Amino acid sequence: MACVGLAVALLTTAGCGPAAVPPPEPPPCSLLLITIDTLRADHLSATGHLDRLTPHLDQMARRGILAPAVVTPANTTLPAHASLLTSLPPEGHGGFGNGRAIRGDIDSLARSCRKHGMATAAMVSSWVVGPGWNLEQGFEAYIPVYKTERRSAPPPSPSHRPCRAEDITRAACRWLEQHRDRPFMLWLHYMDPHQPYTPPPPYGASAMPPETAGRPTHPNDFVTLFREQRQLPPPVLHAVRRDYAGEVAYTDRCIGGVLSTLARLGLDQSTLVVAVADHGEALSETRCYFGHTLSLAETVNRVPLIFAGPGLRRGLLLRPATLLDVAPTILALLDLDVPEAFVGRDLSPLVRAGTAENSGMAMGSDPLLFTRGEDGRRAWLVEGMKATFDPEGRMTSLHDLAADPLEHRDLLAEAPALAEELRRRYMTPHTELARLAAELPQAHQVPGTDEETAIRLRELGYVEE
């Protein structure tokens, strides 16, 4: 199989407890997969945010396993979700960016669940992951909850959203009521933390000072700021960041509604619940940039991941992980076969063990800890260092994340010997990823989108630098 060359050995955890131990709980028979678009790893209270934005996700983390800073394989929505569902990097599934369909002939989490008799459904809140991009393969029902606007319709207002988190929650609760008697896989996609930052009352920054009125909210506002390299006054910047945080808090409240329904129906004791983001968000930490498409910063590349359900101990998963690991880990926790084509690792031994068995694991080199930008740039985490490369494999920056977590000091010129060593090591996975991309069907190798897709991408703030 083409992607096997990227796979790493499965992690195992050895242990020898007392002779008499209680029998293990049966594995969960259903799956609720929640993806929160554009959720930063540092915006859960469980990961250190000072405001209590996410009580429901925090409660999940307290009763399950929290991986506080997982690496995403891509910094945009469609390719990141495709990697989550297929355990393949963009070079393996072919969806290099939004508006680019993935291959339709590959194994996926949904296909594996459906093959084992589970009802499979998805409810998505944006056309970016809607029907037509081949993410729907394996799902019996793939439901676009968002409203599609006609090209002839008047332009939407800056605060317009085709779908809100409460719409996804209502649809999900109805579906759970109707399918409570059958094992299921239900994927819910929440889009609200994505631009525009327009949280509904009382989650917005409405109590901010008058000078914050008229602050930017729409993607086009942020594109203009970036192009003009225009700094926001501190009160306005604070208000914009509060608007983003308000979207996170609102989404958490709506997720809480689904979790309450799951418990009311008695499904929580037989359901594995996984909550994860596709990518994070830059909030003008550098270069006046709000967004994710043009950034490979850690605020974009790292996302939170939570597993909760029967048979799991509480704790932290501190071993470096990637979204590629999520699908094989889920299938193992459900006691289902993991497709050989999946390149991610099965982390279920660590997830089942909890903190005690894995907290001391060192951060080592891992060829899968990549984030790919739509322009072909890559960020690579290796032994506490972060290196970025252009599409041809030339190193463009080097940071020591332990000493410089905000990436202010570029060591590329200061440490040429280290840079050259890492560049040589990088060439092996770089060559393998290039080979995978070259083996894709021709339709996935040719960039470009039709006019309709291009217009919709611009409305969401996806632009070229």
Each domain of the chain, given as residue ranges in start order, spans: 26-364
- pLDDT surpasses 80 at 99: yes
Q: What pLDDT, on the 0 to 100 scale, is given for residue 359?
A: 39
Are 56 and 259 a contacting pair, CB within 8 Å? yes
- pLDDT surpasses 60 at 155: no
Q: What would the mean pLDDT of 286-314 be, rounded to a whole number?
A: 91
- pLDDT surpasses 90 at 147: no
Joined together, the tokens standing for residue 84 give 């989550």
- pLDDT surpasses 50 at 461: yes
Q: What pLDDT, on the 0 to 100 scale, is given for residue 7?
A: 39
Identify the burial level of 5 via C-beta atoms within 10 angstroms of its C-beta, where 0-12 means exposed, 13-18 middle and 19 or more buried. middle
Band of the pLDDT at 220, cuts 50, 70, 90?
confident
Q: What would the mean pLDDT of 99-120 be, rounded to a whole number?
A: 94
Please give the mean pLDDT across all residues of the chain.
85
Q: What is the C-alpha to C-alpha distance for residues 60 and 273, in angstroms, rounded to an integer?
A: 8
What length is written for the chain? 465
Element (H, E) at 298: helix 298-301
Partners of 119 in the β-ladder: 184
Band of the pLDDT at 228, cuts 50, 70, 90?
confident
Share of the chain above pLDDT 70, in %: 83
Q: What pLDDT, on the 0 to 100 scale, is given for residue 453?
A: 65
Backbone phi, psi, residue 167, to 5°: -65, -45
Nearest CA-CA partner of 319 in 256, 366, 283, 280? 366
Identify the burial level of 266 via C-beta atoms within 10 angstroms of its C-beta, where 0-12 means exposed, 13-18 middle and 19 or more buried. exposed
pTM of the model: 0.88
Question: In this predicted structure, which of 13-17, 106-110, 284-288, 322-326 has the lowest mean pLDDT?
Answer: 13-17
Band of the pLDDT at 19, cuts 50, 70, 90?
very low
Strand ranges in 193-237 using DSSP code E only, listed in sequence order: none
Q: What is the C-alpha to C-alpha distance for residues 132 and 98, in angstroms, rounded to an integer?
A: 12
Are 457 and 374 a contacting pair, CB within 8 Å? no
Q: What pLDDT, on the 0 to 100 scale, is given for residue 391?
A: 94
Listed in sequence order, the DSSP H helices in 158-233 are 165-178, 219-228
Are 86 and 108 a contacting pair, CB within 8 Å? yes
Q: What would the mean pLDDT of 116-141 be, rounded to a whole number?
A: 94
CATH fold of 26-364: Alkaline Phosphatase, subunit A (3.40.720)
Cα of 387 vs its chain's centroid, Å: 21
Nearest CA-CA partner of 306 in 47, 72, 57, 73? 57
Q: What would the mean pLDDT of 417-445 be, rounded to a whole number?
A: 87
Q: What is the C-alpha to C-alpha distance for residues 141 and 284, in angstroms, rounded to an integer?
A: 39
Q: What is the C-alpha to C-alpha distance for residues 222 and 236, in angstroms, rounded to an integer?
A: 13
Band of the pLDDT at 150, cuts 50, 70, 90?
very low
Residues 23-56 have pLDDT tens digits of 566 778 999 999 999 999 999 989 888 788 999 9
Band of the pLDDT at 448, cuts 50, 70, 90?
low
Question: In this predicted structure, which of 85-94, 281-290, 325-334 has the lowest mean pLDDT?
Answer: 281-290
